[in-house]
Structure 1
Amino acid sequence: MTVRNLDALFRPKSVAVIGASERPGSTGAMVWARVLEGGFDGPVWPVNPKYDTLGEHAVIHDAGDLPQAPTVAVICTPPASWPALIHKLGGMGTRAAILVGEARSDEDRLAVRHALSAARPHLLRIVGPGSLGVVSPALGAQLGAPSCRVKAGGVAWVSQSNALTNAVLGWAEARGLGFSHAVALGDEADVDAGDVLDYLASDPGTRAILLELDSVRAARKFMSAARAAARNKPVLALRSGRDDPADGLYTAAFRRAGLVRVDALDDLLDEIETLSVGRVAAGGTATLITSDRGLATLARDAFAAAGGLLAPWPADVSDALREVLPHAVGGNPLLLGDGARPEHFGTALKLLAEHRVTGTAFVVHASTHGAPVDEVAQALIDHHRFAYRGLLACFFGGVDAARRDALHAQGIPVHTTPQRLARAFARLVDYRLGRELLMQTPEGLPAQIPDAIDAALAQVREAVAAGEHELTGAAAARFLARFGLRVEGAEGEGHGAARNATSSTTTDASAGHATNAAAASTADGAAAAAAPLSTSTLKPIVDIAIELHDDDNFGPVFRFTAPAIDGVSDALRVYGLPPLNPMLARDIVTRSHYARLVAPEPTLAALTALSQAVCDVREIIGLTLALRVYRDRVTVVDPVLRVGAQRSRLAIVPYPRRFEETVDWQGLRITVRPIRPEDESAHRDFVQAMTPEDLRLRFFGAVRTFDHSQLARMTQIDYDREMALIATADTGDGVERTLGVVRAVADPDNETAEFAVTVRSDQKGRRLGQLLMERIIAYARARGTHWLIGEALRENGAMIALAKACGFTITRTEDPGVVGFRMPLDDAEAADAGATNAQPAR
């Protein structure tokens, strides 16, 4: 399960505290006090057989005697009582429970397992055990034992640590900062970090997410949820343990998911200030405004250390500055001078508003006789609307609580040093760049020849069936040849033979990708004899050692290492999670000092080819090899491929080639396949070929065009929870044209999937929509989805007729201008739907 019933935790309507107490120092007393202090305005019931009243509240002696099912139960009783309580509460209709106590012994852990079993039939979600609780300040819901009352804000806090959660909540309270939600996950027996990320990704009250964790329970779910969240809002992650051997893998996973990793708790706390109150668009550049030359130097050094984020200073800004602030010194930092007065800071903001290249505004100030901090702060409040990319402030010595709160109310974060301000902004820039990496369209590669892949599969499966555990020498070279990779020193049957021979194709800069010609000719398993590679006149630039191992959590992962280029700088040691494409491979390669010495395309192609081999052939459970990089080509050295019948699933679902098919349709030979990121250009053409009326019917409103980010969302999908099947046809010049697309987006727990189908305007009436619908229905059914649903404008007669023809029930919706479609996909649901006899829309 994932987000199922998490709304009960974050938007409760009633609360029961099981084990509420008045005994000083007891867990039940702390939890009961926090629930009351939060000011929750729904029903709150204490449950404990030892009391008749707690204050003004009548105490219920048994959970079964509650007047109604509480939305959430906070359980403070010993572990032995948990299974029976969960069974009773689940049967009543309670949808979430928080286990505050810890499971320390084997008996306690057995009780947790029984509690989970009792919860499962009722879809009751469990947080903990060992959870500090869940806090939703906007509702006054303090469900647990936080150390203080929590103020409402725009940042969510999610942590595996109770102590750190209490420390962060206390730090924020002292600074007048708040949270949209605060969650201490405890032992994550049920609800885990991936579940909460999934929920918060679409929570309108959460502008950003701060995540603290040591480990990930379910890597595929976590990666899918994190990528979805990072596309919508900043997600910053703190993980302690840099000396942990797995730490580099977490760094790679966070980067791949679009999360910004922070190195210290101080940095994470600074982001509460920046993200909770700030309305900052981190465009990558900023202008510093200060009055003192010494402060200007300190601030400039801080920004240089954070990545050189100061905007270039245009000449026309200096000219305008001289007219309104004759004593100021133009440039970046903008130096207002020792005689600056509070109004001069406001004037500077107004001036910079007309010159957007100056970026985000930063004011760094220490109080002077002519410009006291309070008055400068008020000037910023009065003029903050001119800072189009946001405004951040640093006041040495700080400001009083009232002025700080007034700054916060206008979306102006306040930091105590230029260093903290610069680092906080730099992390916002990191998020923007990481999000852009998520949204970039990778360079297209020619489709791997299916016969070559089938031959590679046959070769490995034959080896496994024969009891072989490794492919080396000529066998490894023959396998890698299927994916366009040349192995140095592989000739005939010998391993380590003369290095002027080869058994596969070459990867060179002129091609920009692995050539598949030789692979095509080796479908029968025989290696092709390609032209010899002479190494006598070529000096390798570097050997990159590549390992693939099957991680217990993240599944198959690559590890890339290369020596320091000069013996002094850092060696390359990075991880990569397959599948890789050239864009993702470039992100890995460019972190090496060797990148500037070689043409990048051969290395990118080789890494992508290795990734494809791992993704297409699940029997590869590990490998070691060296990628020998020359200036204009790469080869493989000493490959050893470990093979076996079983391997973990990839943490990120690769392109599902199994759904590709070729169909004869209306006199055309069309291909129906999953959409790929490389389809963005063809998808733009597809949308542009549709009439304005068809676009309005599909998107429920007038649509003119889609920008890159919108098209990227359509073409770069997470195959773990979404499918988009497109129908394409060759236009005759080797270019594929998209004729139609059908989508199904499942909720995270796969209960329902929402579909949409679109056909090019000039292809309507040829039954392409039905062809696509039949395939998406079959896909959703095979995936185990229970219901397929959709909507259309009531006037969209063609879509309504198609839905009826495919077997959907037409239903009413809350909008009288919109009809709904609903189809059960398994036998039990279909029987229930038939018994219900839902009335069609009228």
Structure 2
Amino acid sequence: MLRHALASLFGPRSLVVVADRPLPGAATLPDALQARTTRIDVVRGVAPDIPAQLTGLADHERPDLGLVCVSPAVFAETLRRLAPRAPRALIVLPHEEPDPYPRGTVALCQAWAEENHCQLLGPRAFGVQRPHAGYNFSQHPTLARSGRVALVAQSRSIIAAVMDWAEDVHIGFSTAISLGDEAIVKLGPVLDYLATDPRTDSIALYLEDVGPAREFISALRAAASVKPVVVLKAGRDKDDDAVFDAVLRRAGAVRVRYFVQLFSAVKVLGYTRRPRGRRVALLSNGSGPPQLALDLLGPDAAVERADLAPASRQALEALLEPGAAVTNPVITYAPLTPDKIQAALDILIDDAQVDGVLVLLAPDALADMRAVAERLAEVAPRARKPIVSCFMGDAGMRPLRRMLDDAGTSAFRTPESAADAFGVLSSHFYNQQLLLQTQTALPQAMHSGDGAAHAIVSRARAAGRLILEPSEARDLLVAFQVPVQDTMPVGLYEPLSRPLAIRVRRDAHFGPVIRFGPGGPDAVLALADRGMDLPPLNGFLARQLIERSRIWRKVLASRLGTAVFEALQQALVQVSALITELPDVDALDIDPLYAGETRLYARSLRITLTAEAARDSQRLGGYPHMAIHPYPSRLVQQRAFADGTPWVIRPIRPEDGEALQDFIRNLSERSRYMRFVSMMRELTPRMLARYTQVDYDREVALVATTDLPNPAHRGHPHEVIIGLAHYLRNPDGRGAEYALVLGDDWQRRGLGGQLMQALIDAAREQRLEYIDGLVLATNRPMLTLMQRLGFTNDPAPDDDPTMRRVWLRLDDG
């Protein structure tokens, strides 16, 4: 694996510090880095001769990381003198003297970093902390506690506040970084690094500007596919806010709306148990605390109150004193004991209708609250379902909260913050289900290049019209098989629903957004309604979109039959296909739309085209009008071996996880070692997610599959994976790192060459300049195959004799 471009920033092997005053973090570096650190003092405002002082490095060796903190008067000259030995990464820390030309300094940093191929963080950066390694590359006076949460913020003040709070409540971090006035280091590469960082289990993100939509969503989806990501975004507009909610749902991330909720999220991200739903049971020693929590629960909230099973209620009645409440919330008025709280928790955790428990406790002079907290600290971390607790109060309860925090089961100060924390966990589970969804492979006739749909758009543009005629709009829906009748038959007697609407609008930042809700002349779609999503959609996503809408919960859920509900799902899926494949569509309205017993009827259809004709977006690297790259169904190819055995090349999908794991397990030890350079027998859950949950804007993963008899199902054929080819874009954006592995029984049949050629073709379509990979020097079959495909065989980076860098320039042919 090639070293990540930001490895020099987060894990430097050498350091140069150029400053005119002591930096608190630079004085406390671990011994291994101290030995490879050069400190260069700037005295009396005179920029030093930097190259001459880098005595600890070999000639022409670049330092991994540089820290610069100098007066604005000598900053430009300092950078100029640093250029001959420019570090791979540079952090520019703020100086106490104000900068008279801040915009010029930003431009200078950008130009210098690009010219010297340096990952620059700043100017005026908070810096970076890596507590587990003892790295404090910042001006923050103390190094944070070591933990498993990465903190990323676009504000120096926000990150300083969070770190100060975290120290007080004993929360640690794997990484803390503020991008601030970023010059070169962008959010996307930082998320990429943290997604693969073994020290990071989850990510807390404070945003002010998301930057380019496709780049942001692509990086966020990649990170959230392997680790929980919680996002707090500043700045709100009612419509934009609802769209951003939809973006985060599809990215698999969780949004919090207030600064205090970010604290709750950071605390709860360490939970190893994730709820598999949103139904929560409340257990309390009084009626007040659960009432406060209940205000945040309900059908429109991230969490709702669970209906306890009759058996659970009976068990609680037998356990608790007469007069205790056992329906949910469960309230006991007798003094709590450790045994009683453990027994109550066991009953609630065993209830299949409960996804997690909120324990909400107030001070009680008649109970041994420390003993209760100690038992909770033993039970909660081992429970099958998450247990989130609240110990209200400060003087007596704060030490108990801290004890629970240190035991790995975070406790909260208020019922509201505890409910928020459980909402983070349940929202994460829900959004992960959306992230796992992939658009179904479109049949060839669905693509706009097939003729009919493209011809309709071309005729309208030729006539100078941006609004399609009603007949053209109908023909366009027919071309994409949208199951909507645009006329109601005379004498129709079936009951109809109230007016509905399917609408598509383009968000200025995130592109097309599909909305479902009330329709008709007097209805206005609520901008904050959760009945919206970004394309592409499949059946599952369409169903969730409908069920999130207010009109479904309040009106349709009890009235819509199965057949017409399925038609509504299909209509949303096919509208998604239409706007995916026709970037010329700017807006679409099916309004009013009526649901009959089995069919959908539209009284009005309206489709508006974009002012500018769209460019051809059918290439793999296309679809620029969308924030989420659709599944590249055009890469599906039918093939056959020389003996006639059919096989298929296709992009991998999330549901291929089990088949991919079987493929890896069935490899010989030699094949696994040649691919992974280890004796691993199977993929870890995180690796499995990484290989199957692919964002096709940044990477391509192709599997070769064939049908074989399945002994477990009476020999009926089932699809098996026989080969995998994959590439991931390098941080430079110009190239990608590839990997190839073939099943042992399928080697020497031309499979590797065809699979690799398909990967090369995809890379060329994405306009990459090169692909490269590291191959074991002893892997002669792979080296021979790559040489036959035109690859160059070079020594590996760092002159590792066991590896070869095997690469291909893609713009040569």
Tell me how far apart the structure 1 counterparts of residues 93 and 171 of structure 2 sit (CA, whole Å).
Answer: 25
Stretches of structure 2 lacking an aligned partner (at least 5 in a row): 616-623, 709-716
Equivalent residues of 1:360, 1:387 under 8 A apart: no
- Matched-pair contact (CA < 8 Å) for 2:401–2:412: no
State yes or no: 1:92 paired with 2:76: no
Return 623-632 or 302-311, whichever deviates more: 302-311
Q: How does 1:481-520 map to 2 (within 5 A)?
A: 481-485=478-482
| Contact 1:79-1:112 at 8 Å conserved across structures | no
Aligned runs of 1:61-210 on 2, under 5 Å?
Answer: 61-67=48-54, 68=57, 70-77=63-70, 85-86=78-79, 88-101=81-94, 108-146=102-140, 149-210=143-204
Give the aligned partner of residue 11 of structure 1: 11
Paired with 1:545 and 1:294, the residues of 2 have a C-alpha distance of 43
Q: Which residue of 1 aligns with 2:506?
A: 549
Q: C-alpha deviations, 1:730-760, integer Å up to 9, x for none?
A: 99xxx99567443213145254423234459
Q: What code does the residue aligned with 2:737 have?
A: A
Deviations 1:355-411 (A, max 9, x none): 787654544333334433333323334555653434433222245776544432320
Separation in structure 2 between the aligned mates of residue 220 and residue 443 of structure 1, nearest angstrom: 20
Residues 476 and 639 in structure 1, CA contact (< 8 A), matched pair in contact too:
yes
SS in 1 for 2:304: coil
Q: Find the counterpart in structure 2 of residue 833 from structure 1.
A: none
Distance 2:491 2:12 in 1: 71
SS at match of 2:548: coil
TM-superposed CA distance for 1:11, in Å, is 2.0
Q: Is the 8 A contact 2:632 2:651 kept in 1?
A: no
How far has the Cα of 1:178 moved from its partner? 2.4
Q: 1:394 is matched with which residue?
A: 390
- 1:652 corresponds to which of 598, 623, 628: 628
Q: In structure 1, what is the Cα distance between the partners aligned to 2:183 and 2:500?
A: 44
Structure with more relative contact order (C-alpha pairs < 8 Å, separation 6 or more): 2
How do residues 250-399 of structure 1 correspond to structure 2 at under 5 angstroms? Answer: 250-276=244-270, 278-284=271-277, 285-292=279-286, 295=289, 307-310=303-306, 312-313=308-309, 315=311, 322=318, 332-333=328-329, 337-342=333-338, 344-345=340-341, 360=356, 362-384=358-380, 386-398=382-394, 399=396
Alignment of 1:756-795 (within 5 A): 756-758=740-742, 761=745, 766-781=749-764, 783-784=767-768, 786-789=770-773
CA distance in 2, matches of 1:382, 1:759: 46
Report how far residue 10 of structure 1 moved: 1.9
Is the contact made by 2:149 and 2:269 (CA closer than 8 Å) also made in structure 1? yes
Structure 1 segment 826-841 matched on structure 2, within 5 A:
826=809
Aligned to 1:742: 724
Could you report, residue by residue, the CA deviation over 1:314-346 in whole angstroms, capped at 9, with x for unpaired residues?
637955995899998866555565243345445
Name the CA shift for 1:612/1:183 in 2 (closer, same or farther; >3 Å): same
CA distance in 1, matches of 2:204, 2:784: 47
State the match for 1:835 in structure 2.
none
Cα distance per residue 1:478-509 (max 9 Å; x no partner): 444321247877xxxxxxxxx56xxxxxxxxx
- Alpha-carbon distance between aligned partners in 1 of 2:782 and 2:164, rounded to the nearest angstrom: 55
Identity among equivalent positions (%) equals 28
**Mapped partners of 1:181, 1:690: distance in 2:** 32
Q: Give distance in 2, aligned partners of 1:464 and 1:345.
A: 71
Give per-residue Cα distances to partners, 1:686-741, cap 9 Å, x unaligned.
9879994569945877879999x99876555211122233456799xxx9956744
Post-superposition offset of 1:209 = 1.4
What amino acid is aligned across from residue 549 of structure 1 in structure 2? R
| CA 104–60 in structure 1, closer or farther in 2 if over 3 Å, else same | closer
SS in 2 for 1:182: strand
Cα pair distance change 1:467/1:47, threshold 3 Å: farther
Which of 450, 454, 465 is equivalent to 2:451?
454
Given the alignment of the two structures, is residue 725 of structure 1 paired with residue 702 of structure 2, yes or no? yes
1:793–1:190 CA distance, 2 compared to 1 (3 A): closer
| Distance change (3 Å), C-alpha of 1:475 and 1:11 | same
Note if contact 2:151-2:203 (Cα within 8 Å) is conserved in structure 1.
yes
> Do the aligned residues in 1 keep the contact of 2:483 with 2:571 (CA within 8 Å)?
no
Matched to 2:226, the amino acid is N
Deviation at 1:430, TM superposition (A): 0.7
Deviation at 1:235, TM superposition (A): 1.0
TM-superposed CA distance for 1:217, in Å, is 0.9
1:290–1:335 CA contact under 8 A, matched in 2: yes
Task: Tell whether the 8 Å contact from 1:159 to 1:184 is kept in structure 2 after alignment.
Answer: yes
User: Which amino acid in 2 is paired with 1:185?
Assistant: L
Q: Equivalent residue for 1:585? A: 542
Task: Report Cα offsets for 1:237-269 as digits up to 9, x if no partner.
Answer: 112333355222222211111111112111111
Quick check: 1:627–1:634 contact (8 Å CA) kept in 2?
no
Deviations for 1:761-791, whole angstroms, at most 9, x for unmatched residues? Answer: 5x66542333222222333355425333266
> How far is 1:584 from its partner?
2.4
* Residue type at the aligned position of 1:576: D
Aligned position for 2:24: 33
Q: TM-score, normalised by structure 1?
A: 0.76
SS in 1 for 2:429: helix
Q: Is the 8 Å Cα contact of residues 151 and 177 (structure 2) preserved in structure 1?
A: yes
CA distance in 2, matches of 1:587, 1:358: 21
TM-score by length of 2: 0.78
Q: Of residues 33, 36, 41 in structure 2, which corresponds to 1:42?
A: 33
Pairwise CA RMSD: 4.8
User: CA separation in 1, counterparts of 2:466 and 2:323?
Assistant: 78
Closer, same or farther in 2 for the Cα pair 1:446/1:153, shift >3 Å? same
User: Structure 1's 328 and 533: CA in aligned 2 closer, same or farther, altered over 3 A?
Assistant: closer
Between Structure 1 and Structure 2, how many residues are aligned?
762
Q: CA–CA distance in 2 between the matches of 1:87 and 1:561?
A: 59
| Structure 1 counterpart SS, 2:572 | helix
SS of equivalent residue, structure 1 residue 236: strand
Q: Against the structure 1 CA distance between its residues 755 and 306, is the aligned structure 2 distance closer, same or farther, given a 3 Å change threshold?
A: closer
Contact kept, 8 Å, 1:353 with 1:388, in 2: the verdict is: yes
Q: Name the structure 2 match of 1:633.
A: 600
Q: Specify whether residues 156 and 75 from structure 1 end up closer, same or farther in structure 2 by C-alpha distance, changes over 3 A only.
A: same
